[in-house]
Structure 1
Amino acid sequence: MIRRPALRRALLAALLAGSAAAMAEAPAPLSFDGADPDIEAADGRYFIYPTNSGGTGQLHVWTSPDRQHWQKGAELIALDRIGWIGNDGAPRHALWAPDMVAANGRHYLYFSVGPQNPTPSRIGVATCAGLEGPCTDSGKPLITGGKGFEAIDPAVFVDPASKTRYLYAGGSAGAKLRVWTLGPDMVTIDREIAVETPPHFTEAAFMHERGGTYYLSYSSGSYRHDSYQVHYATASSPTGPWIYRGKIVESDARFKGPGHHAFLHDPADGGWYIAYHRWEGQTGPGPYKGSRKFTVQPITYRADGTIAPLEMR
């Protein structure tokens, strides 16, 4: 006969052993060449839209059956298929920071067009046949930067409560956040809404909603240094006022400069996930060279709705 204290110790030991085994068996997320990822899900599949580390003239989709293993897929759009690309007179251009959005029974791809300085950067939009394209440019810039504002890093959010379509953009040297509402066609600007730029904002704003709370997350610091990290603020509306909440993820001993991210509420399991990029195999404060890697990890919300800091794996 086992006495109760001994039984309790045996049960506790078994529980701890099982937890340790489960943690050991949980695979570390894989990472892939690319930066600035947006992430979407549909029909049991996952889609990531990154800046292409292998070149700056095209944007591709990556697909996965499990959020773990990713394969580079179709080209969505390229510089030579954007008719207005050369209107700024710059000798070279780049595409980066794509954002794919579903609306009106269609899909829309928003993207940054550079250079950023001294020529004003621009934001474009293309209409896509599906999550894997092909995509056709709208024929003109949606937003053009200037006067200290850099038109970069677009993120579109359709408010589930009001169905209003918001475009968030801006950052880098100007470190200014701006927000517009889009027309019903998703390819024209309705009007600009004055918003406060949140604390520690540099670039790459992203908006999501959970339980009636709106989460504005964004990158802070320099993307080529260990200062790059993700912060967030919350509000009762998509345009603030913001309550600053702190950091979501920052550099550690193994991984540097995590940032430019997107959130996903997975319809398959109801969980929340973050896709972000980071530098791997780097030491010191930077600047780092080479290719950034994107990866996907689960996000945890505390009982009060705040986000638990992410431990990179």
Structure 2
Amino acid sequence: MKVKALLAAVAAVALGAPVLADNPQFEGADPHAVVIGDELWVFPTGGPGGSWAADRFGAFSTTDLKDWKSRGTLIRRDEVKWIGDDGAKEHYFWAPGVAQANGKWYLYYSVGPQNPTPSRIGVAVADKPEGPYRDVGKPLLTGGNGFEAIDPMVFVDPRTKTPYFYAGGSAGSTLRVFELKRDMTTIRREVKVEQPPHFTEGAFMHERNGIYYLSYSHGKFNGSSYSVHYATASSPVGPWTYRGAILTSDATHQGPGHHSFVDRKDGRSFIVYHRWDRAAGAEPFDGERVVAVDEIHYNADGTIAPIHMTDGAATPKW
């Protein structure tokens, strides 16, 4: 986006007005997307105009991948009472994920720093997707011993209705999976899983025609190696069959990743992800990442075809 467009985006969000966009949709990262009715909702780190202050989460929705409506603040850092219990001087919010169950909405989120105190994952509950969300009063998971409690994703198995909680990555590159109790805010047990090949962080689980797809980011988040890989299984916890990379850097977009998949009622499927819109160059990259949306296609055998990143008028229609 150009500078004038960014300034317009900041003003529009501040006023609660729609933000006009196409790929890239808006500045932000780690987008967890869900379809609600005919709308695409995105719960990111940050938002239009580089608005990430590390102390709150927002949500944005669209019906056409052109007009994005700010859904306001979901929860603020100062509303999480346990956040200072680790004694760290500063704390940051990033990488939210949402799930719906029990007539409620659940927001799972990463809380840093990751050093010298361990990162943690919190959970908050709301009656509506836009909140307000109320923190449950304690962390759901705390890192340590080389494990970073980051990048939460909760998947409710459509076959068994069992909620599974996926977390972890970055320096330890360790994925852990837990079964939640039906209250969605309490861990019932950990499920031991094999580590998928090339896993770094940002796990996402979805199911289609009886196939379970574990997708995730590989590489350094601020470099061209960042990419999306996936594996398939006959259950939400493996064993995994590695299928390879499906979204990688190209001539004008670097480091695509930390994604989510969504399906429309008409059967079309999309990936929502962040990337750096620039040619390959000196790393690590700085500045702002941007959120983009591209259509995906499944092959006859259920594998996912390689994904091509788009811009401007080539952005897919919603």
Match of 1:278 in 2: 275
1:40 aligns with 2:34: yes
Residue 259 of structure 1 deviates from its aligned partner by 0.3
One-letter identity of the residue aligned with 2:307:
L
Matched residue SS, 1:70: strand
Match of 2:23 in 1: 29
CA RMSD between the two structures: 1.3
Measured in 2, the distance between the counterparts of 1:255 and 1:129 equals 38
Matched residue SS, 1:80: helix
One-letter identity of the residue aligned with 2:207:
E
Contact persistence 1:127–1:137 (CA under 8 A): yes
Contact persistence 1:282–1:288 (CA under 8 A): no
Match of 1:255 in 2: 253
Measured in 2, the distance between the counterparts of 1:81 and 1:154 equals 19
Contact persistence 2:22–2:65 (CA under 8 A): no
CA shift in 2, pair 1:69/1:286, >3 Å: farther
Matched residue SS, 2:67: coil
Measured in 2, the distance between the counterparts of 1:73 and 1:232 equals 31
1:294 aligns with 2:288: no
Measured in 2, the distance between the counterparts of 1:158 and 1:142 equals 17
Match of 1:228 among 226, 229, 247: 226
Matched residue SS, 2:288: coil
Give the paired residue count: 286
Match of 1:158 in 2: 156
Match of 2:237 in 1: 239
Residue 43 of structure 1 deviates from its aligned partner by 2.2
Per-residue CA shift, 1:268-297, capped at 9, x if unaligned? Answer: x22111100000135415211111001111
CA shift in 2, pair 1:78/1:307, >3 Å: same
Matched residue SS, 1:86: coil
Contact persistence 1:168–1:179 (CA under 8 A): yes
Measured in 2, the distance between the counterparts of 1:161 and 1:285 equals 47
Measured in 2, the distance between the counterparts of 1:85 and 1:229 equals 31
Per-residue CA shift, 1:198-249, capped at 9, x if unaligned? Answer: 0000000000000000000000000000010000000000000000000110
Residue 309 of structure 1 deviates from its aligned partner by 0.7
Contact persistence 2:224–2:280 (CA under 8 A): no
1:115-194 equivalences under 5 Å are 115-194=113-192
One-letter identity of the residue aligned with 2:80:
I
Residue 177 of structure 1 deviates from its aligned partner by 0.4
Measured in 2, the distance between the counterparts of 1:129 and 1:307 equals 35
Measured in 1, the distance between the counterparts of 2:295 and 2:256 equals 15
Matched residue SS, 1:87: coil
Residue 70 of structure 1 deviates from its aligned partner by 2.0
One-letter identity of the residue aligned with 1:303:
A
State which drifts further: 211-220 or 286-295.
Answer: 286-295
Match of 1:103 among 81, 101, 104: 101
- The ranges of structure 1 where at least 4 consecutive aligned residues each deviate by more than 4 angstroms after the TM superposition are none
Residue 67 of structure 1 deviates from its aligned partner by 3.5
Measured in 2, the distance between the counterparts of 1:153 and 1:292 equals 17
Measured in 1, the distance between the counterparts of 2:23 and 2:79 equals 34
Matched residue SS, 1:173: helix
Measured in 2, the distance between the counterparts of 1:248 and 1:307 equals 7
Measured in 2, the distance between the counterparts of 1:154 and 1:204 equals 8
One-letter identity of the residue aligned with 2:106:
Y
Residue 29 of structure 1 deviates from its aligned partner by 3.2
One-letter identity of the residue aligned with 2:209:
G
Residue 100 of structure 1 deviates from its aligned partner by 1.1
Contact persistence 1:81–1:137 (CA under 8 A): yes
Match of 2:7 in 1: none
1:216 aligns with 2:214: yes
Q: In terms of Rg, which structure is larger? A: 1
Measured in 2, the distance between the counterparts of 1:266 and 1:107 equals 20
1:51 aligns with 2:51: no
Residue 118 of structure 1 deviates from its aligned partner by 2.0
Per-residue CA shift, 1:24-77, capped at 9, x if unaligned? Answer: xxx963421100000111122221000014221110001112234323321001
Match of 2:67 in 1: 69
TM-score for both structures, normalised by structure 1? 0.89
**Gaps spanning 5+ residues in structure 2: where?**
1-20, 311-318
